[in-house]
């Protein structure tokens, strides 16, 4: 079954980014439509896929990661406003039968992402 998933790693602390808010959006007729809000678990993953099965459709999507809130909650010194507050990763799903994994490696001042499996 096709699925969309994510995994967030805190590269500043060298561990999974637990309890980070993750929001998924889909673009429909050029409009950004909110699909869901989840939080990462102790492993830095969501407890269930962001999308799976028939809910996956071809098109453009965004995942918004609440990095600023995450680091503030941990007591990590960040600027006001944070340099990286909300990290938005926009990507496309071209094959609704495939798995898509969008990991985020993050610190208060940098991030990286890629298409995983």
Give residue-wise pLDDT tens across range 34-82. Answer: 999 999 999 999 999 999 999 999 999 999 999 999 999 999 989 999 9
Q: What is the pTM of this model?
A: 0.95
Q: What percent of the chain has pLDDT over 70?
A: 100
Distance (Å, rounded) from C-alpha 62 to C-alpha 50?
Answer: 11
Model confidence at 26, pLDDT cuts 50, 70, 90, reads very high
Known binding-site positions = 7, 45, 114
Model confidence at 1, pLDDT cuts 50, 70, 90, reads confident
Known binding-site positions for substrate = 7, 45, 114
For 70-91, what is each residue's pLDDT tens digit?
Answer: 999 999 989 999 999 999 999 9
103: tokens are 């990991």
Q: What is the pLDDT of residue 104?
A: 99
3-state SS, one letter per residue, for 45-69: ECCCCCEEHHHCCCEEEEEEECHHH
Q: Provide the CATH number for the domain around residue 98.
A: 2.60.40.180
Print the domain residue range for 37.
3-113
Q: How many domains is the chain partitioned into structurally?
A: 1
């Amino acid at each position: 079954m096709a699925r969309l998933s994510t995994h967030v790693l805190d590269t500043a602390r060298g561990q999974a980014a637990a309890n980070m808010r993750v929001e998924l959006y889909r673009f429909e007729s050029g409009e950004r439509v909110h699909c869901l809000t989840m939080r990462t678990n102790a492993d830095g993953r969501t407890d269930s896929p962001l999308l799976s099965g028939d809910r996956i459709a071809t098109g453009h999507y965004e995942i918004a990661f609440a990095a600023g809130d995450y680091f503030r909650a941990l007591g990590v010194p960040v600027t006001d406003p944070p340099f990286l507050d909300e990290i938005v990763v926009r990507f496309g799903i071209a094959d609704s039968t495939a798995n898509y994994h969008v990991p985020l490696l993050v610190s208060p001042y940098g991030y990286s992402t890629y298409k995983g499996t």
